[in-house]
A and B are shown apart, each in its own frame.
Chain A
Amino acid sequence: MSATVFGSQVKRREDPRFITGRGRYTDDVQLPGMLYAAILRSPHAHARIASIDTSKAAQLPGVVRVYTGADLQDRMGTIPTAWLPPESDIKTVAHPALAVDTVRYVGDGVAMVVATDRYTARDALDQIHVRYEVLQAVAEQELAMAPGAPQLHADAPNNIAFHWKVGNATDEVFAQAEVVVRHRIRQQRLVPNPMEPRASAAQYDPSTGELTVWVTSQNPHIHRFILSGVLGVPEHKLRVVATDVGGGFGAKIAVYPDEALVGFAARDLGRPVKWTEDRREHFLATTHGRDQVEDIELAGTRDGTLTAIRVKALANMGAYLSTAAPGVPTILFGLIVPGPYQIPYAGADVYGVFTNTTPTDAYRGAGRPEATYLLERMVDLFAREIGMDPVEVRRKNLIPKDAFPYHNAMGLEYDSGDYHRALNRALEMAGYADFRARQQQLRAAGRYVGVGCTTYVEICGLGPSQVAGAVGFQGGLWESSTVRVHPSGKVTVFTGASPHGQGEETTFAQIVASKLHIPVEDIEVIHGDTARIAMGWGTYGSRTTPVGGSALAVATDRVIEKAKKIAAHMLEVSEADVEFVDGSFQAKGAPQRRASFQDVTLQAYLAWNLPAGVEPGLEASAFYDPANFTYSFGTHLCMVEVDAETGDVTIDRYIAVDDCGRVINPMIAEGQVHGGIVQGIGQALYEGAVYDDQAQLLTGTWMDYAMPKARFFPNFETAFTETPSPHNPLGVKGIGETGTIAATPTVVNAVLDALAPFGVREIPMPLTPQRVWQAIQNGREAE
């Protein structure tokens, strides 16, 4: 491969259209005769619908139709769940697109208005009169499991959605341990908040029976698959388009009631229909992330060796099971609990619990941040317990590089790694030893600085389809790619992955350019349209490059293989004697006999003189199923100062050393790390959805829910080590989620390290100034 393109900082080719307002987002779809939908959402967390009177709304000029749950229940299917963890007794409760007789969270859809403009549609919502019989509601998973709690679904006793267990950590292991640290952690609920809100538009062509649905999706083919079932439109008559999507962070994996409703209405009314959520709706009706209560035990020896970890987790699933939701606190969480350490015994025991809240689902990292957070917090508590430097505990227990492939206690095979190299690099960048010395001096002067460290490993590159099946994911996790070379040698690439901000229009072009030795500008990357791409599984789980990129590499190699045959014929040498060097096919030993790539592509299409048995054209597809997941890893370090008088936390430095295998574009990889860190620190310090005891969302706008802002952060210091994945053709791993996974515990560990003189062991996230201040007060009183 050409070293100049693969691994170079090519500028993101998609950005000019994004930053000049020329993106083609779902809300940009504008069709003649278009109607606009608005959805009436329940103001109550739990209520029986006694009656709905839509007559006044229906009479408003401009209103075309008002639908209720009762109107639709026999005309469209319910919204399914697509991840069913095995042996978990999962209750896949019915989730109607509009509530029929009961609403189960604030934001649950009750009725839909379709009108000639969005203002009329919105006004009409206020004219729908719903009589609710309000029921007791419950927002917290522990309360929901308690006797006497309000019951959400008749077929899910005690609100238990599923119970899933994994691991080999027995009571005996802990009973015999020299040191056991026990701790309870709450992973607060987060609201994803991509810049583009969710939207959907649909158009039905009665002459062909084709329904086109534009939707803010990370996985349009999964949308097509599920919507086909919900709407009863066969897959070959259903086109799903998600060309430009303005961020997803997991919240655009799910198939929501809303896009099903829009598709239904477009077909029912025979006119295009569009719906776009507003930010208030986003807070209520788009899936949330995290929300776990965890009781953890970590065992080890006085000399710092970790021997066992187990966690009992209660995961708040919200009112219904969203598309991928059950896989998040189980497979994506439980299997990675032992993290990057040689811990022989590990276990996870997880309850998924229904509550009267917005359904939860994947949110950047999805399960892996939760696992990493609890492990990294526990390692710090363990270090404190035995009086050892937390970095030394990590160094001592990290899996050594000669132990790969490494099987963790849950049965995962970590493909490759050099964890100590990343740790050493980060410590060096940080000047860790010097910092510890300075910390002592500053403490003596009444200043509280701290350093936090996280060493992590991430399951990414989802994943081998066989494993997907074994863990209950109702789909494959391979990826498709087609490389179409045009007669002039220009190339169109089709991928089943569905990038929505990650930059694969650039990095995928770099992969092809490096193999074909053609300029990046000669390559167009097409994604996000089921009419143009046969099948694919989308973008999530840091899979796009390791799986989709590998599919592309394989397809490109197939193109080269065929081109070689044609070139051999042109050069009148045997195929074995042709080599592809710097963009030319040449005879081995006689490089003056050569044909350029463009000469060959032209001949492939002219087909005047092709070798026997070779078809015209130059195009190849690959359906790539990875042999394993791939495991990115790294070390993050953060230095903070706490203002003990106010509780304010200032992040002085943030250092990230990540290893995602071979890096295709360092600038894009670094950008992914930056965004991830910001989101991870968002959880640590700022974000948190709060419900009151009536399960009303109290943080429902950007006035109360604190999104991280650029000005909150110092410059991040990032670096990469490169340990190739041994099992995919590019040697790549994922980078989209590492920052989020590592940053949260890094920052919390740093703050708690700063507050060690006050004896503070725990502050619930987010670590707001008041909570930090309160912890200091409590610590001072205890002294």
Chain B
Amino acid sequence: MIPSAFTYERVHTVDEALASLAANPEAKLIAGGHSLLPLMKMRLAAPAALVDIQAIRNLHGVREVDGQVVIGALTTHAEISAHPVVRSLLPALAEAAAQIGDLQVRNRGTIGGNLAHADPSSDLPAVALAYNATLRGLSPAGEFALPADGFFLGPLTTAMPEGAVLTEIAFDVPPAGTQSVYQKVPHPASGYAVVGVAAVIGTDENGCFNYVRIGVTGAGDVAYRAVAAEAALMGQPPTDEAIQAAAGHAAEDGVMGEDLYASADYRAHLVQVHTARAIRRALP
């Protein structure tokens, strides 16, 4: 559990980080380190250089801007799950952040590191998809802003440009009256999501669904939006049958993965069951 040798540099601004990455193509950014370091200790990753961005002050914190909640990339899971703005406006994010790893991980791990690392079993991608998040940052070519939908390309792979620094994540505050939840099946060993479902649900004056966004993580190589289930639910009355029927489509937009713990069939089943449970839990 001893990593290969690497150099370490602490930077204090995003520009310094960009310069370090440009100077050393072998370098990796490190924030909380709770995704990268375990890989390094197993020697599954062996970056020659680590650029530590934790000291960049303006990447911390939560603020409300024009119908969005903008969270600095270095904000920790513990800060997010306890933050009153997140808890009131993005409750599914608070719920998900509170279930990541253990206390130590939540105190060190950051939202930006988590999303940029793009572990397919990570909790936050489901939430980012459900809240229509935008991931912003700087690359050698300038600023970028990428929607969560399309950001996650595969295991540990994102649409971020090479040599870039993720700086903040902007979440759309869902329309008033909507409810949002995060429903998770944790792996009993790793604590990662075997399946995680984030659902943002709104209903009209007749109780019929008029706002539905569902993000699914853990089920396969990459988190996805359950578009077919969303479409099936829109306009429906909040009956058990309608929810069940819509949730039956929740695995269609993803490619189910398989491991020792859960087969693809079982995962698909869990996605459907927990999508239905998430929707029911989100009903007023």
A interface residue numbers (CB < 8 A to B): 118-119, 122-123, 126, 278-280, 645-646, 686, 690, 698-699, 701-707, 709, 712, 768-770, 773-774
Proximity string of chain B (243-284) to chain A, C-beta cutoff 8 Å, 1 when within and 0 when not: 000000000000000001111001001100100000000000
A280 with B1: in contact, given A645-B273, A770-B262, A773-B266 (CB under 8 Å)?
yes
Decide if B189 touches A703 in the complex (CB within 8 Å): yes
**B188 at the binding interface (Cβ < 8 Å):** yes
A712 to B270, CA, bound (A): 20
Q: Contacts of A712 on B, CB cut-off 8 Å?
A: 188
Q: Contacts of B185 on A, CB cut-off 8 Å?
A: 646, 769
A645 to B274, CA, bound (A): 10
User: Which listed residue, B5, B189, B262, B273, touches A702 by the CB 8 Å rule?
Assistant: B189
Decide if A123 touches B5 in the complex (CB within 8 Å): yes
Identify 14 residue pairs between A and B in the complex whose beta-carbon atoms are under 8 Å apart, listed by A's number: A122-B2, A123-B5, A278-B1, A646-B185, A646-B270, A698-B260, A701-B42, A702-B189, A703-B190, A704-B190, A706-B189, A770-B261, A773-B266, A774-B266
**B24 at the binding interface (Cβ < 8 Å):** no
Beyond contacts A126-B4, A770-B266: 20 other A-B pairs, Cβ-Cβ < 8 A, are A118-B2, A119-B5, A122-B2, A123-B4, A123-B5, A279-B1, A646-B269, A646-B273, A686-B188, A690-B260, A701-B42, A703-B189, A703-B190, A703-B192, A704-B189, A704-B260, A704-B261, A706-B187, A770-B261, A770-B263
User: Which listed residue, B2, B261, B270, B273, touches A119 by the CB 8 Å rule?
Assistant: B2
Query: Secondary structure of the B side of the interface?
Result: loop
A118 to B2, CA, bound (A): 9
A707 to B4, CA, bound (A): 28
User: Which listed residue, B4, B42, B261, B273, touches A768 by the CB 8 Å rule?
Assistant: B261
Q: Contacts of B189 on A, CB cut-off 8 Å?
A: 686, 702-707
Decide if A699 touches B260 in the complex (CB within 8 Å): yes
Q: Which of B25-72 contact A (CB under 8 A)?
A: 38, 42
A701 to B270, CA, bound (A): 25
A280 with B270: in contact, given A122-B2, A123-B4, A686-B188 (CB under 8 Å)?
no
Decide if B188 touches A706 in the complex (CB within 8 Å): yes
Residue of B nearest to A643 (CB): B273
Q: Contacts of A704 on B, CB cut-off 8 Å?
A: 189-190, 260-261
Residue of A nearest to B4 (CB): A123
Q: Which 8 A-B pairs have the closest CB atoms?
A: A706-B188, A706-B189, A278-B1, A122-B2, A703-B190, A770-B266, A686-B188, A645-B273
Number of A-B contacts (CB under 8 A): 50
A702 to B263, CA, bound (A): 20
B interface residue numbers (CB < 8 A to A): 1-2, 4-5, 38, 42, 185, 187-190, 192, 260-263, 266, 269-270, 273
A774 to B267, CA, bound (A): 12
Determine which residue in A690, A703, A712 has the highest number of CB atoms from chain B within 10 A of its CB, and name it: A703
A684 to B192, CA, bound (A): 22
Q: Contacts of A709 on B, CB cut-off 8 Å?
A: 188
A699 to B189, CA, bound (A): 10
Residue of A nearest to B274 (CB): A646
Q: Contacts of A118 on B, CB cut-off 8 Å?
A: 2
Q: Contacts of B269 on A, CB cut-off 8 Å?
A: 646, 773
Q: How far is the CB of A667 from chain B (nearest CB, A)?
A: 27
Residue of A nearest to B121 (CB): A703
A645 to B269, CA, bound (A): 9
Q: How far is the CB of A64 from chain B (nearest CB, A)?
A: 18
Q: Contacts of B192 on A, CB cut-off 8 Å?
A: 703
A285 to B121, CA, bound (A): 29
Q: Contacts of A126 on B, CB cut-off 8 Å?
A: 4
Q: How far is the CB of B34 from chain A (nearest CB, A)?
A: 13
Q: Contacts of A686 on B, CB cut-off 8 Å?
A: 188-189
Q: Contacts of B261 on A, CB cut-off 8 Å?
A: 704, 768, 770
Q: How far is the CB of A744 from chain B (nearest CB, A)?
A: 16
A704 to B42, CA, bound (A): 14
Determine which residue in B5, B188, B263, B273 has the highest number of CB atoms from chain A within 10 A of its CB, and name it: B188
Residue of B nearest to A766 (CB): B188
Q: How far is the CB of A175 from chain B (nearest CB, A)?
A: 42
Q: How far is the CB of A408 from chain B (nearest CB, A)?
A: 38
Residue of B nearest to A771 (CB): B266
Q: How far is the CB of A661 from chain B (nearest CB, A)?
A: 36
A280 to B43, CA, bound (A): 12
Determine which residue in B4, B189, B269 has the highest number of CB atoms from chain A within 10 A of its CB, and name it: B189
Q: How far is the CB of B191 from chain A (nearest CB, A)?
A: 9
Residue of A nearest to B195 (CB): A646
A280 to B1, CA, bound (A): 7
A32 to B241, CA, bound (A): 73
Q: Contacts of A646 on B, CB cut-off 8 Å?
A: 185, 269-270, 273
A778 to B39, CA, bound (A): 39
A646 to B184, CA, bound (A): 12
A278 to B2, CA, bound (A): 9
A174 to B248, CA, bound (A): 51
Q: Contacts of B1 on A, CB cut-off 8 Å?
A: 278-280
A769 to B189, CA, bound (A): 13
Q: Contacts of B42 on A, CB cut-off 8 Å?
A: 280, 701
Q: Contacts of A119 on B, CB cut-off 8 Å?
A: 2, 5
Q: Contacts of B270 on A, CB cut-off 8 Å?
A: 646
A577 to B1, CA, bound (A): 67
Q: Contacts of A774 on B, CB cut-off 8 Å?
A: 266
Q: Contacts of A279 on B, CB cut-off 8 Å?
A: 1
Q: How far is the CB of B64 from chain A (nearest CB, A)?
A: 34
A280 to B39, CA, bound (A): 13
Q: How far is the CB of B214 from chain A (nearest CB, A)?
A: 18
Residue of A nearest to B194 (CB): A769
Q: How far is the CB of A173 from chain B (nearest CB, A)?
A: 41
Residue of B nearest to A647 (CB): B266
Q: How far is the CB of A256 from chain B (nearest CB, A)?
A: 19
Q: How far is the CB of B258 from chain A (nearest CB, A)?
A: 11
Q: How far is the CB of A713 from chain B (nearest CB, A)?
A: 12
Q: How far is the CB of B182 from chain A (nearest CB, A)?
A: 17
Q: How far is the CB of B109 from chain A (nearest CB, A)?
A: 15
Q: Contacts of A769 on B, CB cut-off 8 Å?
A: 185
Q: Contacts of B187 on A, CB cut-off 8 Å?
A: 706
Residue of B nearest to A699 (CB): B260
Q: Contacts of A698 on B, CB cut-off 8 Å?
A: 260
A769 to B190, CA, bound (A): 16
A122 to B43, CA, bound (A): 11
Residue of B nearest to A277 (CB): B1
Q: Contacts of B5 on A, CB cut-off 8 Å?
A: 119, 123
A686 to B192, CA, bound (A): 15
Q: Contacts of A770 on B, CB cut-off 8 Å?
A: 261-263, 266
Q: How far is the CB of B29 from chain A (nearest CB, A)?
A: 23
A279 to B189, CA, bound (A): 14
A774 to B269, CA, bound (A): 11
A749 to B57, CA, bound (A): 56
Q: Contacts of A122 on B, CB cut-off 8 Å?
A: 2
A699 to B187, CA, bound (A): 13
Q: How far is the CB of A340 from chain B (nearest CB, A)?
A: 32
A709 to B190, CA, bound (A): 11
A548 to B85, CA, bound (A): 61
A646 to B269, CA, bound (A): 8
Q: How far is the CB of B24 from chain A (nearest CB, A)?
A: 21
Q: How far is the CB of A623 from chain B (nearest CB, A)?
A: 43
Q: Contacts of A690 on B, CB cut-off 8 Å?
A: 260
A119 to B190, CA, bound (A): 27
A703 to B194, CA, bound (A): 12
Q: How far is the CB of B121 from chain A (nearest CB, A)?
A: 10
Q: Contacts of A699 on B, CB cut-off 8 Å?
A: 260
Q: Contacts of B273 on A, CB cut-off 8 Å?
A: 645-646
A706 to B189, CA, bound (A): 4
A701 to B261, CA, bound (A): 14
Q: How far is the CB of A776 from chain B (nearest CB, A)?
A: 11
A706 to B194, CA, bound (A): 13
